[in-house]
């Protein structure tokens, strides 16, 4: 009886290495797109923080304008200034020079405004003593992060030198592909977390600014200023309850979220469970006793993990202010 032995050709080491290399190229491309997305969200966080700081400078000018126009008119034209708190109770004033706040250089320039014979704003003519041009500038430097991946390689001795080379090269290539895959997933997760962080922070700040500006006054007995977590209570015109002329809106921290409590309604979270509120500080600026300003310092961090491995926390800090009954 004859036995026939059939040999089937399987995938060789070279074919496997080629396939792994192709997968590595694809993952490298995906990692590149993920890195660009991550850089974009980092830039958006910087832009959002800068816009709020610039807005605060303009709000400080508005607060001073209503109390003491001569102070603004007396500032030297063309020189740099920045807003600071001064006195007790605190008020907005402008100090000479630029300031550095959380990596941002903030500068406010006051310039004279000229009008022609038709009383239109022009590049030259007569100086208008009742008008000042204000330019608020924020600048910052981008700092990149250098990622280092270390692969430890251990050599095992075999009698077949060629097999050792193949296995060694295959191990390195496979390890590189796996590391690239993990890195790609982590980049995507962090970019998504940053987008969620930006969305929550912007919505939270915009909501508080909007409610402050349409309020009639602050209800001081339930406000908590200069503390973290703080609280503000806003008194607004009531349009829903016929028997009451005022309605109250409160902003405060509830567990890890920013919450708002409106008259005759339950507290509702403004931020979602993907972020953690780490700082909520309110400061009362009394340039005007009837319409004070509220300065808001808001800080958040994202909740992100990949395969149960917690990565570095991504955070954002926004500072802005708004005037009551603006």
* Residue 162 forms part of a structural domain: yes
Is the pLDDT assigned to residue 124 strictly greater than 80?
Answer: yes
* Residue 8 forms part of a structural domain: no
| pLDDT attached to residue 309 | 43
Q: Could you tell me which residue, 77 or 183, shows the higher pLDDT?
A: 77
| pLDDT attached to residue 154 | 35
Share of the chain above pLDDT 70, in %: 68
Q: 295 with 319: CB under 8 angstroms?
A: yes
Instruction: Give the CA angle between residues 197, 199, 205 to the nearest 5°.
Output: 100
Domain end call among 92, 108, 139: 139
Domain end call among 139, 171, 199: 139
Residues 302, 190 share a domain: yes
Mean pLDDT value across residues 200-226: 92
pLDDT tier, 113 (very low <50, low <70, confident <90, very high otherwise) = confident
Which domain range does residue 289 map to?
14-31+151-323
Is the pLDDT assigned to residue 7 strictly greater than 60?
Answer: no
| pLDDT attached to residue 147 | 30
Give the count of domains, the chain: 2
| pLDDT attached to residue 296 | 93
Residues 282, 172 share a domain: yes
Residues 198, 230 share a domain: yes
DSSP codes, 173-218: HHHHHHHHHHHHHHHHHHHHHHHHHHHHHHHHHHHHHHHHHT-SEE
Mean pLDDT value across residues 26-41: 63
* Residue 131 forms part of a structural domain: yes
| pLDDT attached to residue 261 | 92
Measuring CA to CA, which residue among 199, 295, 300, 309 is closest to residue 258?
300
Cα gap 240→93, rounded to integer Å: 39
Mean pLDDT value across residues 17-45: 65
* Residue 49 forms part of a structural domain: no
| pLDDT attached to residue 311 | 47
| pLDDT attached to residue 259 | 94
Mean of pLDDT over the chain: 77
Q: What is the pLDDT of residues 127-150, one digit of tens each?
A: 888 888 888 888 877 654 333 222
Q: 186 with 307: CB under 8 angstroms?
A: no
Domain end call among 110, 139, 168: 139
Q: What is the pLDDT of residues 254-302, one digit of tens each?
A: 989 999 998 878 899 999 988 999 999 999 988 876 688 999 999 999 8
* Residue 274 forms part of a structural domain: yes
Residues 127, 232 share a domain: no
* Residue 221 forms part of a structural domain: yes
pTM for this prediction: 0.71
* Residue 44 forms part of a structural domain: no
**For 251, left (φ over 0), alpha (ψ -120 to 50), or beta?**
beta
Residues 157, 73 share a domain: no
| pLDDT attached to residue 36 | 65
Residues 176, 107 share a domain: no
| pLDDT attached to residue 188 | 67
Residues 228, 168 share a domain: yes
| pLDDT attached to residue 116 | 87
Residues 118, 243 share a domain: no
Q: Which of 35-44, 53-62, 168-177 has the highest mean pLDDT?
A: 53-62
Residues 216, 191 share a domain: yes
Is the pLDDT assigned to residue 10 strictly greater than 90?
Answer: no
Residues 278, 199 share a domain: yes
* Residue 262 forms part of a structural domain: yes
Residues 129, 157 share a domain: no
Residues 234, 127 share a domain: no
């Amino acid at each position: 009886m004859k036995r026939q032995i059939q040999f089937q050709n399987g995938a060789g080491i070279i074919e496997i290495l080629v396939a792994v290399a192709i997968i590595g190229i694809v993952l490298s491309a995906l990692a590149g797109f993920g890195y660009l997305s991550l850089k974009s969200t980092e830039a958006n966080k910087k832009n959002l923080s800068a816009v709020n700081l610039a807005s605060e400078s303009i709000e400080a000018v508005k607060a001073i304008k209503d109390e003491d126009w001569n102070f603004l008119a007396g500032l030297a034209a063309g020189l740099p200034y920045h807003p600071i708190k001064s006195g007790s109770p605190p008020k907005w004033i402008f100090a000479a020079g630029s300031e550095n706040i959380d990596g941002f250089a903030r500068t406010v320039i006051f310039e004279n405004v000229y009008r022609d014979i038709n009383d239109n704003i022009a590049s030259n003519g007569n100086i208008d003593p009742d008008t000042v041009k204000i330019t608020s500038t924020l600048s910052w430097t981008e700092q990149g992060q250098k990622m280092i991946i270390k692969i430890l390689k251990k050599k095992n001795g075999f009698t077949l030198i060629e097999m050792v080379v193949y296995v060694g090269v295959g191990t390195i290539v496979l390890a590189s592909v796996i590391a690239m895959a993990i890195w790609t997933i982590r980049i995507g997760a962090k970019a998504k977390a940053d987008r969620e962080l930006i969305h929550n922070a912007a919505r939270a700040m915009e909501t508080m600014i909007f409610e402050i500006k349409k309020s009639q006054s602050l209800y001081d007995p339930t406000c908590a200023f200069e503390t973290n977590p703080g609280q503000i209570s806003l008194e607004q015109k009531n349009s829903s309850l016929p028997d009451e002329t005022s309605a109250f809106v409160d902003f405060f921290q509830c567990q890890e979220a920013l919450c708002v409590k409106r008259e005759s309604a339950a507290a509702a979270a403004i931020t979602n469970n993907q972020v953690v509120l780490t700082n909520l500080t309110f400061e009362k600026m009394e340039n005007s006793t009837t319409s004070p300003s509220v300065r808001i310092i808001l800080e958040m961090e994202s909740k992100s993990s990949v395969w149960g491995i917690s990565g570095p926390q991504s955070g954002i800090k926004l500072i802005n202010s708004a005037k009551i009954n603006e």
